[in-house]
């Protein structure tokens, strides 16, 4: 229902703004580059005005004596490349005046006098602005109705370090950074295959953020790639500052609390998804790479599962699922058994709980809701504060507030235990943290109103909602709903790697992953020399 209302609101806003699009499109028409350098420089100065980071370096082309202008953004380029590989060879070039037109001049410069690894010919001023603002140097030559984009990028960037949100004990310790080209190289290092394709997009009218999709050409379904491209091209917005912007535009069910687009900070996870036939979306300026399609079971999977013994990885996955149910059900279950179903509690425990709650002025629902809100406040404050201060605040705040609240008689000691277990269990599935908070509150409210029946109805509604979700055409609960026995090898139960002979059904065109082969047992003594 909520998703339906959101879509209707989106349609209404789109119709309302339709009248303003004509003028905007006329304004944003591409302007061709003219051959008059003075006119080009005048247009450049009108656009940048007083921006002191835009550098326009004028010089004369050696031999020909033509006026040239090199435009770049200070701080986004490498000065040595500008001075040694572009300006110096052009000023010392011996280019004669009797060349057959501008095309021959451009060819001579590109092939003989510029020492950079990437050169593009630009035809419009909009392309020139975009190239310069992305860190390239743009060369304008008097009498030439085009420009050259020269790769001179050299901005400061964060080094490849351990991931902050996906810490592992065993496995690669490298993570994505805010530079898209570095991120694509990290994936390329994992998958050294010419079938790995990177396709570039530019999204955002104002930010012009580079976006790239990655997939295996002979594994990923063409229909999936086509759908991802369609949704990316349909994005019409001013700014894209993080991959979360893209996620909100391309997800199947924007009104759902469950994410149908995955994200990761680890190159090995992104590479594994690509090898299964999925598509990775890399956004410049963020270390989080999106992966589609995304299934619900992936919330309980971790990269480390595939580097450990399969039986221990299965056990850990079961623990995560149990922890997820605890974090959404524990407060609601406590309120239910203390308010509606006291007969379910053993007598001795019931007496102890009644004694602990003696003198508490609030009912169990208010008591539980108060503690949940206080915990979320402490958690959010701990995240936003500097790391050493935040950790101290989280630990000391929880201990002090919990102990003081019990001593003052505001809450009972059992409630502190319930909220603590709920909070700890929530950290087992960090990707579901947002959804678990909402579900916890909904189930708590239902339990306070209808008891155990309310919890059952709430779980049934959640299951129905999950069954209705899709991620880029794939059922969100697959391979459980619809049930597929073959794909259960990597769901709740993780089979050994040598049994993972096929990719998920319906996910890839090339289903075969490896040839089935049982690993050797012991030493083969029949082939001793």
Average pLDDT estimate for 188-212 = 90
Least confident of 26-40, 270-284, 412-426: 26-40
In this structure, is the dihedral angle defined by the CA atoms of residues 406, 410, 414 and 418, taken in order, positive or negative? negative
User: Residue for token digits 């304008």?
Assistant: 140
Residue 528, pLDDT > 60, answer no
Confidence of residue 414 (pLDDT cuts 50, 70, 90): confident
Confidence of residue 22 (pLDDT cuts 50, 70, 90): very low
Q: pLDDT by residue (tens digit) across 250-287?
A: 998 888 899 999 999 999 999 999 998 899 999 998 99
pLDDT of residue 526: 58
Helix-then-strand count for the chain, H and E: 17, 12
Average pLDDT estimate for 197-222 = 90
* Number of C-beta neighbours around residue 315 at 10 A: 13
**Share of residues in the chain with pLDDT > 70 (%):** 88
Quote the radius of gyration of the chain (alpha carbons, Å): 30
pLDDT of residue 3: 56
pLDDT of residue 433: 86
Q: What gap in Å lies between CA 440 and CA 401, rounded to an integer? A: 21
pLDDT of residue 281: 95
pLDDT of residue 25: 43
Residue 26, pLDDT > 50, answer no
Average pLDDT estimate for 205-228 = 90
Q: pLDDT by residue (tens digit) across 73-85?
A: 988 888 888 888 8
Q: pLDDT by residue (tens digit) across 119-168?
A: 889 988 888 888 888 888 999 988 888 899 998 888 777 888 888 888 88
User: What's the half-sphere exposure (Cβ side, CA atoms, 13 Å) at 194?
Assistant: 0
Q: What gap in Å lies between CA 398 and CA 166, rounded to an integer? A: 24
Residue 449, pLDDT > 80, answer yes
Q: What is the mean pLDDT of the chain?
A: 84
Residue 308, pLDDT > 60, answer yes
pLDDT of residue 24: 44
pLDDT of residue 15: 56
Cβ(60)–Cβ(91) below 8 Å = yes
Cα angle, residue 77 at apex, residues 73 and 78 outer, rounded to 5° = 145
Q: pLDDT by residue (tens digit) across 359-371?
A: 788 888 888 898 8
Q: Please report, for the chain, the start and end positions of each structural domain, with discontinuous segments joined by +.
A: 37-150, 180-294, 315-474
Residue 17, pLDDT > 60, answer no
pLDDT of residue 514: 65
pLDDT of residue 525: 58
């Amino acid at each position: 229902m909520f998703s339906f209302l959101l879509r209707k609101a989106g349609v209404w806003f789109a119709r309302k703004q339709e009248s303003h699009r004509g003028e905007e499109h006329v304004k944003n028409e591409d302007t061709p580059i003219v051959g008059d350098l003075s006119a080009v420089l005048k247009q450049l100065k009108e656009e940048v005005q007083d921006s002191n980071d835009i550098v326009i370096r004028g010089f004369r082309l050696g031999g020909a004596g033509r006026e040239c202008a090199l435009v770049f953004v200070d701080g986004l380029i490498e000065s040595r490349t500008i001075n040694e590989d572009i300006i110096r060879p052009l000023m010392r070039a011996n280019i004669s005046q009797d060349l057959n037109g501008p095309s021959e001049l451009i060819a001579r410069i590109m092939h003989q006098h510029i020492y950079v690894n990437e050169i593009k010919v630009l035809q419009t001023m909009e392309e020139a602005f975009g190239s310069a603002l992305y860190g390239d140097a743009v060369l304008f030559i008097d009498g030439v109705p085009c420009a050259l984009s020269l790769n001179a990028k050299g901005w400061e960037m964060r080094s490849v370090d351990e991931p902050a949100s996906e810490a592992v004990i065993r496995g690669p310790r490298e993570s994505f950074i805010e530079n898209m080209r570095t991120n694509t190289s990290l994936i390329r290092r994992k998958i050294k295959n010419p079938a790995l394709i990177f396709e570039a997009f530019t999204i955002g009218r104002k930010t012009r953020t580079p976006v790239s999709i990655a997939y295996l050409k002979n594994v990923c379904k063409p229909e999936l790639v086509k759908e991802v491209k369609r949704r990316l091209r349909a994005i019409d917005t001013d700014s894209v500052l993080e991959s979360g912007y893209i996620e909100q535009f391309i997800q199947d069910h924007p009104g759902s609390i469950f994410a149908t687009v995955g994200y990761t900070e680890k190159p090995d996870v992104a590479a594994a998804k690509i090898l299964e036939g999925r598509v990775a979306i890399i956004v410049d300026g963020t270390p989080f790479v999106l992966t589609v399609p995304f299934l619900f079971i992936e919330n309980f999977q971790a990269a480390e599962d595939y580097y450990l013994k399969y039986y221990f990885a299965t056990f850990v996955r079961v623990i995560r699922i149990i922890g997820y149910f605890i974090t959404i059900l524990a407060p609601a279950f406590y309120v239910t058994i203390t308010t509606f179903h006291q007969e379910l509690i053993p007598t001795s425990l019931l007496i102890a709980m009644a004694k602990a709650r003696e003198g508490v002025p609030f009912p169990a629902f208010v008591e539980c809701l108060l503690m949940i809100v206080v915990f979320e406040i402490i958690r959010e404050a701990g995240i936003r504060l500097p790391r050493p201060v935040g950790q101290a605040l989280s630990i000391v705040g929880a201990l002090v507030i919990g102990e003081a609240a019990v001593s003052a008689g505001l809450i009972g000691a059992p409630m502190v235990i319930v909220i603590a277990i709920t909070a700890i269990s929530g950290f087992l599935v960090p990707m579901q943290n947002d959804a678990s908070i909402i579900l916890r509150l909904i189930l708590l409210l239902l339990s306070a109103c209808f008891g155990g029946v309310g919890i059952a109805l709430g779980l049934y509604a959640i299951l129905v909602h999950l069954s209705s979700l899709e991620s880029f055409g794939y059922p969100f609960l697959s391979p459980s709903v619809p049930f597929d026995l073959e794909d259960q090898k990597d769901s709740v139960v993780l089979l050994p790697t040598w049994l993972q002979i096929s990719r998920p059904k319906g996910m890839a065109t090339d289903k075969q992953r490896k040839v089935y082969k049982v690993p050797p047992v012991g030493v083969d003594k029949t082939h001793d020399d």
